[in-house]
Structures are given as C-alpha cells and as structure tokens.
Amino acid sequence: MKKHQDQGGLKPEYASILDGFYRGLAPSGLSPDYRAETEVYRRRSRLASAGRLYESLMSASGVAAGPRVGYFCNLVPEELIRACGAVPVRLCELDHACARLGEEVLPGDACPMIKSICGSAAAGRYRDLDLLVIPAACDGKAKLSELLAPVRPVYLLDLPRSSEYLRNADAWTGRYQDFFDFLKERFRSRAGRSELTAECRRANLRTQLFRRLYHFRAGHPGLINHFDYFTLVSLSFRLEPEAWLDLAGEILAEAVGRAEGLKFDGRRILLAGSPIIFPAYKVLDILYEFNCEAVADSLCSGYGHLYDPVEIDEETETGIIRALALKYLAASLCPCFMGLNKLLDLLVDTTAEYRLDGVIYHDLRLCQVFDMQTVAIRQVLKEKRIPFLSIKTDLGREDTGQLKTRIEAFLEMLG
C-alpha cells in the first residue's frame, strides 16, 4: 500500500512561524455569538418546530462522536469520511467578524468566504479538528491548503477542474480513491464496500427527504420560509444524517399538516449564485421584507449540497467511489467546475417547472468565478424572457439600502 502524506502542508519550521503569527492575531480567540440572529429568525418562522431548528444551530447535539474531519465545499465526499469512522464537518462559513480577522492574513480583495475561513482558522476555531480537507476548487481554496497547514494537518483534494464526465470520471475516481486510502490509513479503518454502501444509503435518505421538502416549498411558499430552509441546509453541514432527518422530518411534517388552504401573495423567485450560509442572511432579509420567497435555489449551500443522490451502479468499491465522484463532481454546479451549462439549464427548467417569477443572482463580491458568469446568465435568461436581477454584495450590511432599491425595483418590475 502506498504511504500517504498530508498533502498541501508546510514544512514544520515554516508552519510554526506562521502559527505564531496566527496566535498573535487573536490571542483570546474569536467566538461569534449568533444568539440574537437566531432569535430573530426563529420568530420569523411560521412553524413551531423551528424552535428546535434554531436551537440546534447553537448546540452541539446531533453531532456524532469520533475524530472530526473539517472540509470545505461540497466537492468532498462525506460518505468516504463517515465510512472510515470519522465525522465530517463542512466548515464553509460566511462570518463578517471572522472575515475581518481574515483580512489581516489575506488581502482585502480576497473572496469573503476565504477570508472568513482564514480568520476562523487564525482565531483557533479549527484547532479541535483532526484533519482539514480542502478541495482545489478555486484558487483561494487551493491556497488555503497551505495557509491552514499550521493550524491542522491538511489534505489537499486536487481535482481536475472541469465537470466533463467523459474526460474526467477516471481521474476523479482516482483522486477519491487516494483520498479514501489516505483516510483509511489515518483513522486506522478497514472500511470497504459494505461501509461505503451503508453511508451512501444514509446520505440518500437525506437526499430523499430534502427533495420532498424542496418540492413542497415551491408549491407552498412561505410556510417553510427561506431562513428555515437555508438554516436546515447549514445544519446538515455537521449533523449526522439521522439527526438531520429527524429535524427536517419534523419541520416538513408540520408544514404539510398546515399547508391546507394556505395563500401566499408574494413573489416566488429562484436564488442563484454564491452560497448563503447562516448568519449571512442579508439578502434573504431584504427579500423577506418585500414579501418575496426564495423557493428554489442553485446554491452550493442549498440545492447543491443535498439534492443529488449517490446512484450506485456497480457495488464494487471502485464502483461506489466512482458513483460518489459523479454525484459530487460531474453534477456540480460550482462555477469553478465549469458548470455554466448545467446552471443555465437548471435556471430555465426550474423557473418553468415551478412557474417562478424570476431569478435573483447573488453575487458575492470578490468571488471572481461567480461574478464572471453574470453577464452570460443575464443574456441567456433575457432571451428566455425570465426576469433576472444580479446583486453584488458582500458580508457587510452597509449596502442594505442599495440592495433594497434594486430588489424593490425588480419586484416592482415584475408588476
């Protein structure tokens, strides 16, 4: 068996220098407190079971015990991590305070998420993790694999950056297989296909429930509002599938029970673009204010994280790993993975299927790849007569007034 090294690390000497610098940045650590936000969104929810939802944001229950593997982006197969007996935690976050700290490490014009992650890391929030897995999705993430190396051991999941199945399926499978071998060695696991199959099944159960919830929201807008929805998805970043199923199941059941005769007089839109993760709900807040619901989305922190199932065709180990690669990479909508065709298809198809009023493109300033495709989307949707608004923003709240003008004008335009 190959000897696996931590990829993407730094030499111990350099790492400790950088580590010293980080420790100096936030000597007392940084622990953002979201209690106030949680309370606001809990009150906005129309469901009684949302109480538990927002509580879980603050508590650690529902998270399995075991070595914890932090990862970024939904390009890292959770199933592989779980199969090896470790607990995957998706660390993607959008926190203003952390991002500000991150600016002391990174240039100010780096992507807010990268800054936020880097700030969190510098503040020592990742020190209790056993491993960090960073996919080379965008340049920022790839570089993080070095900058975070002083904090925890890092595995750089280097992936060919095109979601073209025909060309890359073998390469992806190889990379995932390496990753799996690495995990097995690191966590002294002898996981094989039965563990993998079991984990895929768990993940698929979650996908099934998520799909029901997703379709339900389109048909009964506002009942499970977009805050509840995105909070649920954010929670799936770290909850065990069963705990998540329990939570989401309760919410869906309550909503289904109350769906009868419910009227919604606002606007239903599809939210596309950069991720939205609790507590960065600025755009959602504005939509809410104007009685507009994001009932569908294409975000990697929403639809992209939970909609696609693993479809095991060959129940061999390689076959399962390949199926995972297809789920996470071929179907990926990430702009880094050249998913523009798929994204456009999704926008056109979903707006037609659910008869949505339009598409709002959330463009997180400084994330180049999202920004770069705006014009293309705009032109295509215009041709297809789908109202489209792109809003460029960041984590701060200073531009709320401007965003309101844009969104309100967009809604006025819809008539």
Partner 1 sequence: MKPRRRITLSRRIIQLACLILLVYGGYLFKGRLAGQEANVGEPPGTGGSLFPDLKAPKGAMSTTQFAPGSILWPSGATPVLENYPPTLVCRFNPKGGLFKACIVHFFSENFTWQTHLKYLLPHLTLFVLLCFLLGRFWCGWVCPIGSLGDLLSWLRRRMNVPVRRFPAGFRNALVFSSYGLLGATLGISTFIGLPNYSRFQCYWFLPYCQICPARLVCPVFGLIKPGWKDFTNGVSATFTLLAWLVLGLFVAAFYWGRRVWCHLCPVGLVNSWFNRGAGLELHKKAVKCNKCGYCADACPMGLTAMYEADTDRKYNQNGCIMCLRCLEVCPKDGCLSCRFFGRRVLESRY
Partner 2 sequence: MAIAGLDIGSVATKCVVVDDGRIIGAALVRTGTDTEKAATRALADALQQARLERAVLEKIVSTGYGRRQCGLADRVITEISAAGAGAFRMNGRRPGLVVDIGGQDTKVIEINGEGSVSDFLMNDKCAAGTGRFLELMAQVLETDMEGFSQLARSAEAPRRLNATCSVFAESEVVSLIAHGESKTNIAAGLFEAVASRVAAMLRQFQEQPVFFCGGGARSPALRLALERLAGRPVQVLDPPQFVVAFGAAMLPDGV
Q: Is 400 in the site for partner 2 (CB under 8 A)?
A: no
Q: Which is nearer to partner 2, 281 or 388 (CB)?
A: 388
Strand-pair partners of 171:
none
Considering CB distances under 5 to 8 angstroms, the limit depending on partner class, which of partner 2, partner 1, none binds residue 341? partner 1
222: CB partners within 8 A, 6+ apart:
46, 262, 264, 266, 293
Q: Which is nearer to partner 2, 80 or 94 (CB)?
A: 94
Q: Is 291 in the site for partner 2 (CB under 8 A)?
A: no
Residues 344-373 that bind partner 1 (CB under 8 A): 345-346, 348-349
Count of H-run helices and E-run strands, the chain: 18, 8
Least CB distance to partner 2 at residue 352 (A): 19
Q: Is 95 in the site for partner 1 (CB under 8 A)?
A: no
Q: Is 406 in the site for partner 2 (CB under 8 A)?
A: yes
Residue 307, classed as helix, strand or coil, is coil
Q: Which is nearer to partner 2, 107 or 401 (CB)?
A: 401
Residue 38, classed as helix, strand or coil, is helix
Q: Is 405 in the site for partner 2 (CB under 8 A)?
A: yes
Strand-pair partners of 388:
359
Residue 337, classed as helix, strand or coil, is helix
Instruction: Kindly list the distances between the CA atom of residue 27 and the CA atoms of 17, 74, 101, 125, in Å, as whole numbers in the listed order.
Output: 15, 31, 12, 12
Q: Which two tokens stand for residue 413?
A: 């335009």
Distance CA 169, CA 150 (A): 33
- Piece of the chain touching partner 1 by CB under 8 A; list 46-54, 115-123, 252-260, 324-332: 324-332
Q: Tokens 């469901």 map to which residue? A: 47
Q: Which two tokens stand for residue 167?
A: 């060309």
Instruction: Kindly list the distances between the CA atom of residue 404 and the CA atoms of 266, 284, 407, 410, in Å, as whole numbers in the listed order.
Output: 16, 11, 5, 10
Q: Is 197 in the site for partner 1 (CB under 8 A)?
A: yes
- For 167-320, list the strands marked E by DSSP: 267-273, 292-297
Least CB distance to partner 1 at residue 177 (A): 10
Least CB distance to partner 2 at residue 346 (A): 21
Tell me the number of residues near partner 2 by CB under 8 A: 19
Q: Which is nearer to partner 1, 170 or 289 (CB)?
A: 170
Q: Is 204 in the site for partner 1 (CB under 8 A)?
A: yes
Q: Which residues bind partner 2 (CB under 8 A)?
A: 365, 375, 378-379, 382, 387-388, 392, 399, 401-402, 405-406, 408-410, 412-413, 415
Q: Which residues bind partner 1 (CB under 8 A)?
A: 163, 165-166, 169-170, 192-193, 197, 200-201, 204, 207-208, 211, 308-309, 311-319, 322-323, 326-327, 330-331, 333, 341-342, 345-346, 348-349
